[in-house]
Amino acid sequence: MEKTKILSIVFLVVALGLGYYLSNSIYTSITESEKIAAAEAQVIEKLTMIREAQIAFQAVNGRYTSDWAKLKSFVDTGRFYIINKKENIITLAYGADSISVEIDTIGTVFVKDSVFTTEKYPNFNLENLEYVPTKGEAKFAMWANKIKKAGLTVDVVEVWNTAPVNPRRKEDNEARTKKPLRFGSRVSITTAGNWE
């Protein structure tokens, strides 16, 4: 009976220790997943801001840029033109239509005021646009160029996180959704993000 009591106590202590270890490891795993999700949400928000800036830059300049200084300067001082377009359709005597288009520039608006409003991006800070929000001094990598696609020369851009928070996000992963967070592509005409 004495041995049975001792073995029961030992098994109880082992079971309690094992239960604590398992519950603690599950809690730690859940907490780590929540931290990664929160950090990646910040990175996605910053990538969305950079994508908006690149799309605006391309709309005004006809190309994307891989230079942070040019992109930030454009966001700070660049302008969109407000254009009024009027089409006149005149039916000719023989039944065909003649179309004339009048385009009038009626004003400009700053990129910063129209794209990066405080309602849309309350945390927008132009000074740290190129920095990964969760990794201090790490910067996003940015690439822009022209490629040939279906016989045409087109502009492409790709921006990606150089310091992923999630250790499973690696460049050598085959699936695009498992690579570090990014938008755009070097081989196709897209500005979609791999989180979408």
Residue 64 near residue 157, CB atoms below 8 Å: yes
Residue 132 near residue 159, CB atoms below 8 Å: no
Residue 95 lies in a domain: no
What's the domain count of the chain? 1
pLDDT at residue 116 greater than cutoff 80: yes
pLDDT for residue 158: 92
Residue 24 lies in a domain: no
Mean pLDDT of 98-126: 83
Residue 196 lies in a domain: no
Please state, in angstroms and as integers, the Cα–Cα distance from residue 143 to each residue in 86, 121, 148, following that order. 38, 24, 16
Instruction: Concatenate the DSSP letters of all residues of 131-151 into one string.
Output: B-TTSTT-B-EEEEEEEEETT
Residue 84 lies in a domain: no
Residue 104 lies in a domain: no
Residue 116 lies in a domain: yes
pLDDT at residue 135 greater than cutoff 80: no
Mean pLDDT of 166-179: 80
The residue that leads in pLDDT, 35 or 156, is 156
Using the structure block, give the residue that is written with the tokens 């740290």: 128
pLDDT at residue 183 greater than cutoff 70: yes
The residue that leads in pLDDT, 29 or 127, is 127
pLDDT at residue 1 greater than cutoff 70: no
Average pLDDT, the chain: 84
pLDDT at residue 107 greater than cutoff 70: yes
Residue 191 lies in a domain: no
pLDDT at residue 58 greater than cutoff 80: yes
Mean pLDDT of 103-107: 82
List the domain range (segments joined by +) for residue 122.
43-77+111-184
Residue 1 lies in a domain: no
Structure tokens at 70: 């040019």
How does residue 157 score in pLDDT terms, banded at 50, 70 and 90?
very high
